[in-house]
């Protein structure tokens, strides 16, 4: 059975990183953007990282510019923004595509393990759904990720056990992470 440990990604300097390096850790894998309404998620993500990293927890940050061009800039510029504005210390990888023919295989796998089930209820979520559908129409059946700050949680064996849309309450995300630790 395939797990996240079967994938190799690029760090922000362009070097290959085998995710098997994270064996035995609980992972939260996130596609991010620096110019998104959900960019403030970096704050609770970093707080969670500081609280849980010594217990075998890692956040893997993958910037993507596929959602209304909300992650402009180079990998270094994105990293500088995140470290200066939010004090992020968790690993940040090279900017990738998460949808379409050029989607990173890791994200295609994550989404196949835990498909999109909706943003939730309420006017805000309905508006995001409408905007996401317009944005992702160009990716057809390869619109794996619906918006920035989609989070995938894996157990210590590398199995994908949960998907959290950007509209999910960050306390719910934290509780799910804590339950795996």
Q: Report d(CA 15, CA 131) in Å as an integer.
A: 34
Q: Report d(CA 155, CA 128) in Å as an integer.
A: 29
Tens of pLDDT, residue by residue over 121-148, are 777 777 777 777 777 777 888 888 998 9
DSSP alpha helices (H): ranges in the chain? 42-52, 75-86, 105-113, 123-136, 170-180
Catalytic positions = 36
Q: Between 133 and 21, whose confidence is greater?
A: 21
CA 124, chain centre distance (Å): 21
Question: How much of the chain, in percent, has pLDDT values that exceed 90?
Answer: 65
- Return the axis-axis angle of helices 42-52 and 170-180, rounded to nearest 10°: 20
The confidence score (pLDDT) of residue 75 equals 86
90 pLDDT higher than 80: yes
Q: Where are the domains of the chain?
A: 4-180
- What tokens does 132 get? 């996401």
Q: What is the CATH number of domain 4-180?
A: 3.40.30.10
Indicate the DSSP class of residue 158.
S
The confidence score (pLDDT) of residue 165 equals 94
Counting DSSP H helices and E strands in the chain, the numbers are 5, 6
Specify whether the CB–CB gap between 10 and 94 falls below 8 A. Answer: yes
- What tokens does 171 get? 């306390």
Strand partners, 169: none
Residues 94-113, mean pLDDT to the nearest whole number: 95
Indicate the DSSP class of residue 19.
G
Average pLDDT, the chain: 91
Give the number of residues written for the chain.
Answer: 181
């Amino acid at each position: 059975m395939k797990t996240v440990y079967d994938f190799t990604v690029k760090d922000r300097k362009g070097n290959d990183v085998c995710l098997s390096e994270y064996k035995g850790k609980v992972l939260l894998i996130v596609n991010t953007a620096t110019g998104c309404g959900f960019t403030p998620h970096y704050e609770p993500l970093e707080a969670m990282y500081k609280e849980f990293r010594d217990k075998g927890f890692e956040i893997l940050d993958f910037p993507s510019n596929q959602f209304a061009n909300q992650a402009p800039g180079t990998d270094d510029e994105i990293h500088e923004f995140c470290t200066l504005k939010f004090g992020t210390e968790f690993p940040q990888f090279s900017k990738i595509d998460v949808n379409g023919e050029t989607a990173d295989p890791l994200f295609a796998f994550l989404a196949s393990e835990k498909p999109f089930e909706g943003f939730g209820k309420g006017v805000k979520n309905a508006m995001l759904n409408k905007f996401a559908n317009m944005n992702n129409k160009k990716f057809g059946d390869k619109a794996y990720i619906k918006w920035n700050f989609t989070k995938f949680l894996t157990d210590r064996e590398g199995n994908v056990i949960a998907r959290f849309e950007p509209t999910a309450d960050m306390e719910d995300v934290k509780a799910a992470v804590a339950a795996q630790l």
